[in-house]
Structures are given as structure tokens and as C-alpha cells.
Chains A and B, each alone.
Chain A
Amino acid sequence: MQASTSVATELPATPRVAGKRRAAVAGGTAGLKRAHYRNSRLPFLLLLPQLLVLLLFFFIPAVRALVQAFVITDPFGTTVHFVWFDNFRALLASPEYRSSVWVTLWFTLTQNVLTLGVAAVLAFATDRVIRGRGLYRSIVLLPYAIAPVIAGILWAFMFNAHVGPMTYVLKALGVAWDPTRNGFDAFLLVTFAAAWKHICYDYIFLVAALLAVPASLLEAAAVDGAGPGLRFFKIALPMIGPTVFFLLVMNFVYGFFETFAIVDAVTKGGPGGATMILVYKVYLDGFVHIDLGSSAAQSVLLMIFAVILTMLQFRYVERNVNYDV
């Protein structure tokens, strides 16, 4: 009796996604309410809408991408050849794709560090101030409302080579600036726009995490003579560690997949592929250059990225559970 009920009573106490991995190991009843219904038809009806949408717009397309990645279709779509890994081989050998991988890597890394850094500074400052906290929070949160493409447009205008007010300032300071010609300028512009849009997200989570650090611990440390700096590094930082890790992963997800609109609004991947992130390349090759095999192979590689990132997200969740109890 003890052994069989332990799973059921333990689960509600671990109310995070990680519970489900354990659930799969424990068998069919994990993650199920103790008081539940036994009905064989109703649950299927309840699940039907979600599963139907998933089937039509997620799983079938994903399988088709997988199939297309291993075949070559002629331009008229009449003959299809199975070519094993030829599409992948051609892709990995192409200099454009390799450069796109590097651009994506540098872009996501820079954006990640920038976003998390600024958000952390603002969050710690918010945690210390008492007056005006609500106002500061409202302002920093504002970009959350702004679509990525609009964020891109705002930055594209500010730093527009001809009419941008910031370009004027830069020129007055003697800095040569032209994101339409200079690849590095374009890269910086896209990175800043992406970070500007995403700082609010990291900020919300960091402020919430800092609020959750028990005041009693901080006060006890202060009584023992620890200053603000020591308290931060020895108490607050270890306690918000899991949140920071989670945000790192989420920033990568954002950088990889959600910055499409920013690139499309600011540079369209140019100049000379300097801002050609992988997601934008999939779109261009699929819809503009109509290279189906290559586009599908790129999709498959991106899916592998996505799986890895989802797994990492999972690890955070598991660690967070241990911290919370």
C-alpha cells in the first residue's frame, strides 16, 4: 500500500513539468489525480481538437520536411529521387550555410550576453529601490508589447544611413556608420534591436526571482556583518542560479527562432549575408529561391537544435524543483 501510493502523493508536491519525466518511468497513473474518472471515450473527445491541430499543422509537416530532406525533386515536381544524405552533404559543404551558422552563433551569443547583462543590472537596481519601483517596472516592460518586426523598424529608422537621428550623432562624433553597406554595422544593429526587445522578458523573471530570496536570510547575513556585495554573491546569486540558467536557454530559443521578423525588417539578411541567421535562410531558400531539398535539410537541422534546447529547458525545471522545496 505504501509503495503504490507514494507516487500519487508525491506528484502534486512537484508541480513542474519535470514531474512528467518521472511519471513516464513510474507508469500510467503518474500525473493523474487520485480522484479520477474511468471513461474510455470522453477523454479522447476532449483531446481531439488539440491533437487534430497538432497532426495537421505540426506532425505531418514535420514528417514531410524529414522526407523532403532525403530526396531531390525536379523543378516540375514530376520525379522524385531518394538521395540519402546528399542534401545534407551539399548543405554542410556550402560556404553560405557555414557562414550562416557562424553568424547565428555570434548573434545569439552576443544578444544573450547583452540581454541578460542589462536585465540583471536593472533587476538588481529595482530590487534595491523602494520609491518609483512600479514606474520603473512599467517602463522597462514596455517593449514586451512591441512586435519584433516593429522593434526592428524602430531601430532601422534610428540608425538609417540617410535619415536616422542616431546616424547623425555618430557621424558628428566621427564614426563612419552605414548598415546597408558595412556588414559589421548591420550585425550590431540587428543584435541591439533583438536585445532591446527581449530585455523585458529576462527582467521580469529576475525581479521575480530576487523577490523570492527570503528576507530573513539576507537580514541574518547583514547582522553577521555581510555587506550588500557579499550578500548578493553568497546568497542571492546562488538562489537565482536556476532562473539565470533558464533565461540563458530561453534567450537562445529567442535568438534562434523568434528574431526572424527583426532581420526581415532591418537588413533582410544582408549586406553580403552578414546578418543571414539560419531561420532567415530557411525562409529565403524555401520561398524565394525554391530550393526544396536544401530548405528541408535546413529545417531538419534546426529541429535538432530545437530538441536540444527543449531538453536543456527540462534540466532547468528539474533543478528548480530541488531548490524550491
Chain B
Amino acid sequence: MVERTRTLDIACHGLLILGGLLVCLPIYFAFVVGSHTVGDVLAVPPPWLPGGRFFENAATAWQKGNLGRLLFNSLVVAVGITVGKIAVSLLSAFAISYFRFRWRMTAFWLIFASLMLPVEVRILPTYEAVTNVALPLQWLFDWVGIEVAVEWNMMNSYGGLILPLIASATATFLFRQFFLTVPEELCEAARIDGASPLHFFRHVLLPLSMSNMVALSIILFLYGWNQYLWPLLFTTEKDMATAVIGLKHLIPQSDAEPAWNVAMNAALLVMLPPALVVVALQRWLVKGLVDSGK
């Protein structure tokens, strides 16, 4: 800054170190517990320093929690949500900002209204919607008088974990804002050259949107990986659960079987992939967050 203020600078470093310790403390204890035997964990006083059984515990956690399969599920779900949200919102944003058609503002407001309906407030009816996606179609048939029973249950499927979450007002707005800053001349030139709307979208807009897509996809990947309520409701089969849900089942519920060492080791394993993403792609994450907050 402008002047030299030694005391203030030292105070700032002190505060930041304190804040860093506060952030790391829970993770540190997970690591300490994750590297001891159950007996050590239950001892008084509890262990303060890491022990030597980290990899044994990790192996136990991996096998007991079926983590190989569940981490794979998490990856599929997180990537599916990321790709789905970006694709769906790019197309919507393109339609809303580059086409003049009836119901344009209606479509816009419909997407906007979804911001006001967070998952958590409509849990039960959405659950019913996923257990039978074809229900509205059934109503239509009943109303018309066709006697056909249709059912499409998305429980315990990747579709059920991904599809209901791929609508995104925030991402649509982000891309729309970006399209508004794209020079008009590009579209004019493309039209003069005889490019169809889809050709313009594919060869001009898409390459321009790349940095926005990367920044957004990091946030969406973390969002997908860390989902809790949806997989909790929509996966009753153990093999279809995500890693976060599997971890929840490893947590000791009673004092009868206090395997905290395995549970905390599993917690570290499950948070490792998103943590690596945050550390490696920090710059992009910050850009994505700040852009989508606007």
C-alpha cells in the first residue's frame, strides 16, 4: 500500500495464519483419527499427532464403504450434471438473445421463476415426479380418454440423479450476459456470409464462450459431486449411491461400533477429488463464482 505500517502488516499476517489454522483444524483432526486404530481413538486423552495406520484404514474404508463403485457413481453424476447444465443453458441463452419470436419474454420469465423454487422446498412432490416421470402424460391420456398405463421410474438410475438437476437459471443468465457483450458485427458478418443460425452458434459463439464454460464447469462439478439431498432420496440401492451418501453410512451412529478412524479416513478420500480441483484450478473457480454472482 501507500505507506509502510509494520504493525498493521504483522497483524494482517497473524490474522490470516489464524484463519488458515481455523480452516485446517477439522481436516487435520480427520487426518489424525484416520491414521490410528479404534483403540487409540477411544483413548483418553485422544491422539493429537498422526499415527502410522493411514493406509490400512484407507483400505478398510475403501472395501467396507464400497468406495470404488461409489466414487465412480459420483464422477458420472458430477460430470453428467456439469455437461447437462452447460449444454441446456447455452442453448436457452442462444435462443433468448439471438432470436425474435413470440413468447420470448415468457420463456425468459419461466426460466427466471425457477430460481425461486429451490429443491429443498419442493422435496416431496419432486420425489413423486421422479418415481414416475410419465405421470403428466398419464394425466393427459386419462383426460383424453385413452386407457393406457404409462410409467417411467427414474429411481436408482443415473438419469434420476442427473436430469432433474440440469435446469439452471444462473448458468442461462451467465451465458446470456456474455452473449450481450459479443460484438453485433460477428452475427451480421456470419449472416452475410450465409451461415445458418446453428452454424453461427457452433463456429462463432461456442469458441468465444470457452473461458466462461471452463469457469462455470468447475463450480458445477463441485456442486454435482457434493449433492446430498437428491442421492439420499433417489438411491435406495446401495450400488447406485454416490460417495457422499456412502460416507454417511460409515459414520458411527451408536457407541457400540465406534469406527471413527475408518469413517474419517473415508471422509478424506471422498473430499480429495473436489479439493484437488479447487487447489489446481483456483483462478478459474474465482472467476466463475464472481461472474455468476453478478
Contact = CB atoms under 8 A, between A and B. Distances in A.
Interface of A: 11-12, 15-17, 19-20, 23-24, 28-29, 31-40, 42-44, 46-47, 49-51, 53-62, 64-65, 68, 118, 121-122, 124-126, 128-129, 132, 136-151, 153-158, 160, 162-166, 168, 196, 199-201, 204-205, 208, 218-219, 222-223, 228, 246, 250, 253, 257-258, 260-261, 264-265, 279, 282-283, 286-287, 292, 295-296, 299, 302-303, 305-307, 310, 317, 320
Contacts of B277: 145
Which 6 pairs from chain A and chain B are nearest by CB?
A61-B125, A147-B226, A154-B26, A46-B95, A302-B121, A145-B274
Contact of A222 (B2, B226, B278): B2
**What is the predominant secondary structure among interface residues of chain B facing chain A?**
helix
A279 B98 contact: no
Contact of B27 (A38, A126, A154): A154
Given A62-B125, A218-B1, A145 B29 contact: no
Given A35-B184, A50-B167, A196-B22, A204 B123 contact: no
B279 interface: yes
Contacts of B19: 118, 121-122, 125, 136, 140
Given A32-B104, A150-B267, A228 B289 contact: no
A37 B107 CA distance: 17
A196 B294 contact: no
Interface of B: 1-3, 5, 8-9, 11-13, 15-16, 19-20, 22-27, 29-30, 32-33, 41-42, 44-46, 48, 87-89, 91-92, 94-102, 104-105, 107-112, 114-130, 133, 136, 163-164, 166-167, 172-173, 176-177, 179-182, 184-185, 187-188, 191, 197-198, 222, 225-226, 228-229, 233, 244, 247-248, 251, 255, 258, 260, 263-264, 267, 270-271, 274-275, 277-279, 282, 285-286, 289-290, 293-294
A29 B229 contact: no
A31 B176 contact: yes
Contacts of B45: 168
A155 B23 CA distance: 11
**What is the predominant secondary structure among interface residues of chain A facing chain B?**
helix
A43 B228 contact: no
B289 A205 contact: yes
A32 to B, nearest CB: 6
Given A153-B267, A306-B117, A208 B290 contact: yes
